[in-house]
Amino acid sequence: MFRVTRRYEFAASHRLHAAELSEEENRRLYGKCNNPYGHGHNYVVEVSVRGPLEGSTGRAVDTAALDELVRREVVVPFDHKNLNREVAVFSGVVPTSENLGVEICRRLKRNWKQVFPGEWPKLERIRIGETARNIFEVGSDEIE
Amino acid sequence: MAANPHGHGHNYVVEVSLEGERDRVTGMVFDLKELKAILEREIVEPYDHRFLNYEVPPFDREVPTTENIALDIWRRLERRLSGGSAKLHAVRVYETPDLYVDYFGETKCFA
């Protein structure tokens, strides 16, 4: 069994602000990330896929098909966007990298069978680098 | 593009992970000098600056995908590392910084 990982990048802005908390509590909790004007990151997204070798091709995943799926579902809708205002789910969910990872995972899972109709390959993990020092991982099995 | 009849090249990066208990005397899981010599002899020497399809078996018969390269490196190393307490845990092959493959052997799942 192999794990193939592909790395993608997009740039986006966000503001961390929880609707249930007061202005003061938000400032204390999120600090600079609560700046009312938002701020941006060059996000790095790693998509890991698991599968056995497919005998005739010697590959575990068609990376061109994976690229097309990630481009359509993640890179195009997120790149150079204000996540809070331009990506519908984040109008009600704080766009932390944890929540971003869950959303990316959901989008890929929702469209997975259309691109990879067989038993394999399976989506295994999403890893988001918000900065070189802040990295968030979510396993596909943990997400509905 | 990967099917260009004249081939193409990569600056491959290989990460080899071992797992095991510390030796009581040396405090090491494996002697890294020895590991370096093994990697040099078993992997770098046969692979470096070669046309994989023509010069490095089994790629005269198998497609030299990154998956198959990880598998071949695993096989070359496993027989050299099977003696001591440390065992081969994972082989990671970067084809580019944006695409890499992990192989953990046939029996194991993922850690």
Q: What is the pLDDT of residues A83-121, one digit of tens each?
A: 999 999 999 999 999 999 999 999 999 999 999 999 999
CA distance B46 to B38: 12
Q: What is the ipTM of this complex?
A: 0.83
User: What percentage of chain A carries pLDDT values higher than 90?
Assistant: 97
Helix (H, G, I), strand (E, B) or coil at B90: strand
> Which is it for strands A39-51 and A2-14: parallel, antiparallel or unpaired?
antiparallel
Q: Given A6, A7, A58, which is nearest B65 (Cβ)?
A: A58
Quick: pLDDT tens for B66-76: 999 999 999 99
Closest B-chain CA to A47:
B99
The structure's pTM equals 0.89
Q: Is A80 an active-site residue?
A: yes
Ranges in chain B, pLDDT < 50: 111
Which of A8-12, A53-57, B29-33, B77-81: highest mean pLDDT?
Answer: A8-12
CA distance B86 to B18: 6
Mean pLDDT of A56-77: 97
**Cβ A125 vs Cβ A137: under 8 Å:** yes
Closest A-chain CA to B61:
A58
> Which is it for strands A81-82 and A2-14: parallel, antiparallel or unpaired?
parallel
Q: Given A2, A8, A124, which is nearest B67 (Cβ)?
A: A2
CA distance B85 to A112: 41
pLDDT of the residue at A72:
98
Q: Is A23 an active-site residue?
A: no
- Are B110 and A63 an interchain contact pair (Cβ–Cβ within 8 Å)? no
The residues that bridge with A12 in the sheet, in sequence order, are: A41, A81
The active-site residue out of A14, A17, A33, A105 is A33
